[in-house]
A and B are shown apart, each in its own frame.
Chain A
Amino acid sequence: MKTKLNGILTLLLALVVQVAFAQQTVTGKVIGPDGGEVIGAVVSIKGTSTFTTTDFDGKYSLLASPENVLVYSYIGYTSVEMIVGNQTNVDVTMTNNSLDTVVIQAYRKTTRLKSNIASTQLNASDIEDRPNASLLQSLQGQVPGLSVQTSSGQPGAAPFVQLRGASSLNGNTQPLYIIDGIPISGDAFAAFNPNDVENITTLIDAAATAIYGNRGANGVILITTKGGQYESPLKISYNATSGFTNFIDTDYNRFDAKGLLRFEKSRGAGLGNTLSDADIDAFAINTNWEDVFFQTGTNQNHNLSFRSGGKNITQFTSINYNESESALAGRTLQRMTFRSNVNGKSDNGKFRFGTNAFLGYSDSRTQGADGSGSVFFNPIWAANNGLPYLDPNVNTSTLLTGGAAFTFRNAPYVNLDAQRFDRDEQDKLTIQLGGDVAYDITDNFTLRYRLGLEVEQENDLDTTSPLSALARIRAGSNVEPFEGRTQQNYFRDVRMNSNLNLGWAKKFGEAENEEDKKHDVRVNGYVEYIKAHFESFGFTQVGMDPRTFSPGDGSSFIDDNGGSDNLGADAIAQKVEAGGFSVFGNIAYDYDGKYGFEATVRRDKSFRFIYNDGWGTFYAAALRWNVSEEDFLKDNETIDLLKARLSYGAVGNDRISGGYYGARNNTRQQFSTFNGYRDTQTFVPSSVVPVSDLRWETVTTLNFGIDYSLFDQRLSGSLDLYNRVTTDLFAPQQISLVNTTDNVDKNVGSVRNNGVTLTANYNIVRATKEGGLNVNVFANGTFNDDQVLDVSPESGRIDNAGLTVLQEGQRINEFFLAEYAGVNPANGNLLFRDANGDLTETINNEDRKFTGKSVNPRFFGGFGFNASYKNFFVEAQFAYVTGTAFIDSDYDNLLDFNFAGNGNLSADLLRAWTPTNRVTDVPSLDATNINPAANSDRFLVDSDFLRLRFAQFGYNFPKSLLENSFLSGGRIFVNGENLLTFSDFRGSDPEQRRTSTFNQFPTGRTIAFGIDLNF
């Protein structure tokens, strides 16, 4: 076991005097992984006791012989060894050490050696400079057990994040996000600056998350933002990236103009039917509507930060500007953020405080009809299905006049018109404020108080200009001169979190020196209060005067003029509250770094429940054994760390209906007032059937893990096995229709996720001198086996309206479809397999089968490498997902030959069965069973994919360049997201968490160039 230098050792070493011969003075500078100077790093000569420490500028100087090996050490960093040789100046860049790395745990920090829990940590270097606007998207493939699914190409889109499978059916399954101790909602990340992040820790097992109680059931993602260091000079960093986002092409074999015209002619439909063969051969227009709607989007990001620290105070300040266009015209994100982190302490260090202030403003241009078949409102439909023989340049206002213009074929023009005139925009202001005060009452007692406030306010504007075709058509049938519609919705969401903590820590043992005592006990008690308020209001105005129209402005609003109730505004408003109160405690014990024990008990009260007075009790316990600290392994050269962990615990989930404010008053019968018969204000029982004994969903996790570090820390990682069972599942129970609804959600049912996660990092080539070749490879994988254990119907099945079912013993929401067997060579009809496996042309719901697929990944993870040589660096991160599928409804649509004349089709139809082409995969165009009575897997595609999620190549500015400049460091790089994707899907992006993909907005491919400068 390697000995690590620390303050105590430093003192001991200081007492030793050493004499050396044939020495030269070696000077240099020690740089940390963040590019900043390392102050107080120990530089020693290997095999001797000679050492020095670095000064405030990270510089050192000592006498050494050419054959000496210098060892550079600093807590938290991997020691670096350098042969002196003939060098007189040796600069060293240190990297994070996996063993001594500070492990962030709930409410406290420990080291990897003493951590009792399953957790994964990412550092700034794993996520910074990524050319995508969402921090969460960057986590894909980097955290074992964490599945990150981004289903929209909207810049900054919030991905669906899930740790170790779905623990709930209706309830929230996404993890809790904590930024600097403050719980933050998952959709706050579009307005968050990823470059502020110091590290991200994912807390995984029950022992890690129990302390977050009812909010931590699905794991906790702790984000720590950067801070300054005491006694360090001002450091300024500037970083800029600029890039391009492109649409990832589809492969649907769409007809070109001539091909489609010929096909139409053969079907007696559309324009083709009116043209002669000669006309078609001479047809000049050929439009690819994908190219019309999808373009190259540009994006840029600027980040400026300042860090400094004095004797008693440190600060970190950053400002960020981001402008991201997507591949779809008009869909953008603009963002500005500001952060200020201040930490301070009293002279004796007994009193400490910290504040975090973050302000983010973002403006997204979106479109409400993604994925819908509303052809006049969804440009992606037009891109997918626009007729190639139409010319996009003839789009004049007269083309779109009158009801007759609103045909399927003109939908691309309507969408182009809407892009020009209409606006769908969300601007969002995010404020996150955190305060943290701690006072050491005695040597053992510490009192701590944390207060967090998250404020999000958003203004959502959706306007149809009175000049747009959509407004003119409505006006035309409405005898109003103009119409147009503006909808604005404003909301403010304020969430407050208050946590009082009394901690007691003491070491016991024989040793006189406090540090050497072997029994380490920490006890913490907490009281937590959570309160949240959501308020929204908005209006829908119909009728705008085009003379004064401007999106979002009300000058043009036309009042109700009495002639028609259509004009004027409708108002809405909502106000809801949520809250919780918890008392909890945690005890952690460590014996000599060998054995650890930790236990947590908590009592939670949620505003959602009245059963059992609203209280729930949860607990967790963990055991740790550092095998490598035992005598028989302590001096083992191969094994640096071998640690076994075992934890068991239960965590509650009160977000039983998913949303933060959902299921607010499901326990009591409500009445709702509304405009009733004859416009009389009346009231009726609300349609939510009350369930008075609602209670927590309980997620119980058993976790066994091993952390390892081998071969001089060249190979390290962890292995975890888990069994995760959710009971009292908030699941639908069918009730008699004599009620106002057909089901209520009650605590019935149970699901299970079993799995294994493995991570490995291997330092294949370790540089022995500055600029030497250094190569790391890393990989992680998760296998998660999800299963429905129990649902309420006696049949053991809940049928989810068609494509998927919840069936006991099967995967959660597994696709359940009749098997498509191809084309009947005899008649061109579709062939299926019935329940008995026999071929049939007619199927019903009884013929459906389990497919093993769902929207939740089954085996997933990531791998990659990074390398550096001289000043160059390169890295690549791959991500992979298996076990997922969806129905490719886009392709289904492109094969719908009955649609000929209305939209483009796939030229695959030319392969359709005919009496002379009997063996084919495309059914006859006269097939009589094209729409079977049950859903089949004909269009089910595996959305498994492997993708080069991120790659980067760059160059660090050489010392020679920096020495005479105002810079202390810098680099340039080129990188990219989603560079390569391998999948069976013929559409654009297989990463879509949905049962059916239909005219969706896919994520694009981004390539960016950037520069980092440190002053």
Chain B
Amino acid sequence: MIEAIQVQGLTKVFTTTKDRPPLRAVDGIDFTVHEGEVFGFLGPNGAGKTSTIRMLTGFSQPTAGTARLLGLDLDKELPRIKKRIGVVPEASNLYDELTAFDNLVFAMQLYGVPRAERKARAESLLERFRLSEKRDAPFAKLSRGMKRALTIAAALAHRPPLVFLDEPTTGLDVMSARNLRQMIATLRDEGVTVFLTTHYLEEAERLCDRVAIIVKGRIVALDTVAGLRSGAKRKTSVEMTLEGADGQSEKKRLECDDGVESAVQRLLSENNGRRVLAVDTLRPSLEDVFVQLTGLNAEVMLSEKSGKGGGNAGG
């Protein structure tokens, strides 16, 4: 089976000024993205996520290393690769002056979609992304969520089997972010490989089959979400909500060293006679793994993004 992306020793070094040392933005990373999976690429600002995407999409030259996309050599077969990938950059960057429909048609013209197919394909994408009513509205007049949706639609206009999504939900309101996540999940169902960078750990947890965590240009972890969780130092724990003496509820938490059932038994025996209001099992989250590996608080990572407000993964 051909892998969607195979990267070996990929490196990007920026030389800025003579008196400053070269910056190794990406430092010899290796990874493989399987066909049809949603692959999460997580890391704080400046970790090397965007530099990696820019190299893989042909926007900038790697300093060292090799990459194959859809079985094609990035160095030798870039034009063929470009025809088969879709890229959604962090900023919604369609043309303000063109309508939603015309933006999609232009995307298809650039990628050589046959003239006979363009109109129907554009209408179908508008419908799928719930933008049919805005068909003739200029891009500039769309809401932020609609702009984002249309930018993703434009990246899919030529039916690429591999799509790069750079922070797709950053800065969106909760509903728009939720809609976009549903669309990303649909892409996977259709067999499209998705390379997703995000600051939202819950988003990665919800959408991604596998996740790589990159810090200071190096991949420090790569596994399924479940696999990463199992490596967390924090264990699964049981949280019991009990009725307090003054009518207020009180939470007690215990790590499950000998399984969930024994932890529940222990909490019950320690709080004998008190009314139990709720029992929850708390599994280590991707956030725990991230904090453990990077030493960064997830909230700090979010605060680095200007549009942190709406795009939380609560949808």
Tell me if chain B binds chain A: no
List residues of chain A with CB under 8 Å of any chain B CB: none
